[in-house]
Structure 1
């Protein structure tokens, strides 16, 4: 166990230190503000403050972890060896920047509370982030800092022991449209027939007719293939189903229908099923609550995982609502159109509510890439991007997650790359 001395022990300090030491590096950490206890402690220890107490392992604090509230912060980037870093420290500090304050800034999504330009759907865009603007969005930088700190600690303390960790794969399947043509009801099907006819999409109407007559399988119904792949794999998988209304009326379906409920139960028999909560549930707690209850009644168990259907994260309200409904994990921490690590880490972390200054029990699961970010790219570029991101996560023994859709696995030639990646690369890593 590592003992940390600081004159002012805050919730922010505990949160940041525990993510780095406990969640990433796997060693426990304890805190004290009693100088005599720190001096008497004989195992590995460090101080965190403005100035060192003596010759101990010392990291100078920036001051962010001792503050309350949210203020605009001037950030200047430097490098720690070849890795970007910010909040520089004095020479007496064991490392050249305040790793704990910098990690807290990224993990808490501090910048998303500050004034910023939203996209057309009201989301926080990647281009507004510090990581994107300084070209480190595709680095799990908090984990990389932690592993460099690990080396420095091992050089300072011969008896410090770190447990062995390895890369974990957790695949995410986002199901907004489980069927292309089936289960839409008479009026929606008629509307789709009419729209495709007026736009000259006669092939769609031909396929739709075959599916509705039972001659052809619905192209979006790729779930048997998904489950068969997942059953043979040791990697984790969570499938999220949308129960609320889709953004486009004609894309919605009646989720009360038996066929849909049987589909959800079928997937839930083999892998975890979570709730893909709708756009309307973001502003209406009652709608979110109803969606959670309906999912629980469908799978006959508690819903523990959730994901927002359009990657809308309205901090902190989104997450407060999930906490109130006892959701344990959220998988929305990603940019829908840009690969990378939105919170700077590839290790699941607790949501910190900056308004209330509390560490919450909700675990945010970082996503490295969503298929929506590369839907118009060539297969070679998609494969290279995923391999590159996976290698970075493997170097710090983190959790690698990609969000895919059942629609990515249809028989079209353009989806061959996604079928290959899911069935091979994202099931086992060597």
Structure 2
């Protein structure tokens, strides 16, 4: 166990030390404010306070972990070897930056509580983030800092053996609509056909009727392909099905359709199933409860994981609503149009409520790229290059890669050409040295 001496054991300090030491490095951590207990400890130990006690492993503390609420924090970014960091310290500190305070700032999403410009869907965008502005969005800096901390501790305690973790993947399949043409009902089918005709989208009109007449496969129905890929992968895919009511933003399949229910159950025989929460349920308790109940009745088990429609988050309300309904894990933390690490980490972490100053039981699993973000790269070669760079960054810290694909990505639409190859590249990445 790593024992940390500090002048005050705060909820923030307890939270971030446990993430870095236990979740990332696999080492238990304890705290003391008593010098005698610190001196008596005969294994890993360090002081995290304002002044060094003697010659012990010491990191000078920044004030953020001992504050409450939000304050106007002055952040200056510095280069640190192969990465960047902030909250620089004096020469006596074993590490030149307070990585714990910097990690807390990123993991708690401190900046998302501060005034910022939202996009048309009311989302916090990558361009508003410190990581994007300062050029470290594409690095899992929290994990990189943790490994630098581990290396510094190892020099001080050479006999201690740190556990090894391994690189993993968790493919996410987002299903806003299981089918493009099937199971849409008479009115929606007629309306869609009329729209195709009025806009002279004759190819779409032709496809619509050949699918409905059973002469052609629905382009969004890629579930057989995905289940076959699951059968050859050691890592479980996680499907998020939208079962909310039809609205301006969500145009999925009616959850009362028996064939749709059968599909969800069939996929659930091979993969994990979560709920894609509809856009309007995001801030509506009644709707959210309704959707949770629906998916639980289909799966005949308690719902564990969720993802928000349009990757929209309203902090802290969105997460508080999930906690109230005892949903254990959320997969919305990421950017739709940018590849990178929204919370600076490729390790799942618990949501810290800055308003209440408390660590919650809700596990946040950030995603690091969505298929749409790769569309800006025109050639398949460029897409592969970007993807390989991301995989390499995560492998460096033995993290978990969470990519988000949609069911329609694996169809035959032109813009998604080559995406099956990219998906396979990710599935094969754990086998490559």
TM-score tier after normalising by the smaller chain length: over 0.9
Matched residues in 1 for 2:248 and 2:281: separation? 16
Instruction: Name the residue aligned to 2:225.
Output: 225
SS in 2 for 1:255: coil
Asked if structure 1 preserves the Cα contact closer than 8 Å seen for 2:341 and 2:366, the reply is yes
Aligned to 1:273: 273
Pair 1:189 & 2:153 matched? no
Q: Whole-Å Cα distance in 2 between the matches of residues 196 and 249 of structure 1? A: 20
Distance 1:307 1:59 in 2: 37
Q: Deviations over 1:172-213 (max 9, x none)?
A: 000001101000000000100111100000111111111111
- The answer for the alignment partner of 2:179 in structure 1 is 179
> Helix, strand or coil for the counterpart of 1:303?
coil
Report deviation, 1:418: 1.2
Matches within 5 A, 1:393-412: 393-412=394-413
Q: Is the 8 A contact 1:188 1:250 kept in 2?
A: no
Match of 2:205 in 1: 205
**Corresponding residue for 1:390?**
391
Map 1:295-310 onto structure 2 (within 5 A).
Answer: 295-310=295-310
User: What does residue 120 of structure 1 align with?
Assistant: 120
Contact 1:8 1:33 in 2 (8 A): yes
Residues 239-388 of structure 1 mapped to structure 2, 5 A cutoff: 239-245=239-245, 248=248, 251-378=251-378, 379-388=380-389
The aligned residue for residue 38 of structure 1 is 38
SS of match in other structure, 1:236: coil
CA distance in 2, matches of 1:147, 1:247: 46
CA distance in 1, matches of 2:82, 2:73: 24
Contact 1:234 1:428 in 2 (8 A): no
Give how far 1:424 is off.
3.9
CA contact (8 A) 1:7 1:49 kept: yes
SS of 2:336's equivalent in the other structure is: coil
Paired with 1:89 and 1:67, the residues of 2 have a C-alpha distance of 18
CA distance in 2, matches of 1:330, 1:177: 20
Structure 1 stretch 348-357 or stretch 152-161: which is displaced more?
152-161
Q: Deviations over 1:6-50 (max 9, x none)?
A: 110011001110111101111111111111111111111000011
Cα distance in 1, alignment partners of residues 178 and 285 from structure 2: 25
Q: CA deviation at 1:138?
A: 0.5
Shift of 1:428: 4.1
The 3 A distance-change label for structure 1 pair 246 and 78 is farther
Q: Contact 1:334–1:369 (CA<8 Å) still a contact in 2?
A: yes
Q: Distance in 1 between matches of 2:426 and 2:297?
A: 34
- 2-side partners of 1:80 and 1:428: how far apart? 28
Match of 1:12 in 2: 12
Contact 2:173 2:406 in 1 (8 A): yes
| CA distance in 1: counterparts of 2:188 and 2:9, whole angstroms | 58
Aligned in 2, Cα 1:308/1:400: closer, same or farther, shift over 3 Å?
same
Q: What is the deviation of 1:427?
A: 4.3
- Once the two structures are superposed, residues 250-304 of structure 1 have per-residue CA deviations (whole angstroms, 9 ceiling, x without a partner) of 9333121001101100110111000000110011111011101100000111110
> Residue 237 of structure 1 corresponds to which residue in structure 2?
237
The CA distance in 2 between the partners of 1:167 and 1:412, in whole Å, is 32
Moved more, 406-415 or 221-230: 406-415
In 1, Cα distance between equivalents of 2:318 and 2:381: 36
Q: How does 1:131-170 map to 2 (within 5 A)?
A: 131-170=131-170
Provide the TM-score with structure 2 as the length reference: 0.97
Structure 1 position 79, deviation (Å): 2.1
Task: Tell me if structure 2 keeps the 8 A contact 1:170–1:399.
Answer: yes
State the 1:376 CA deviation.
4.1
Q: RMSD of aligned C-alpha atoms?
A: 1.3
Q: Gaps spanning 5+ residues in structure 1: where? A: none
Aligned pairs, number: 430
> Structure 1: how far apart are the matches of 2:193 and 2:99?
57
**8 A Cα contact 2:140 2:344, kept in partner:** yes
Greater Cα offset, 335-344 or 245-254: 245-254
**Which deviates more, 6-15 or 155-164?**
155-164
TM-score w.r.t. structure 1 length?
A: 0.98
Structure 1 pair 179/306, CA: closer, same or farther in 2 (3 Å)? same
Give the CA deviation at 1:381. Answer: 1.9
Q: Distance in 1 between matches of 2:337 and 2:426?
A: 22
User: Distance in 1 between the 2:359 and 2:327 partners?
Assistant: 15
Q: Is the 8 A contact 2:140 2:346 kept in 1?
A: yes
Tell me what 1:98 maps to.
Answer: 98
Distance 1:247 1:107 in 2: 33
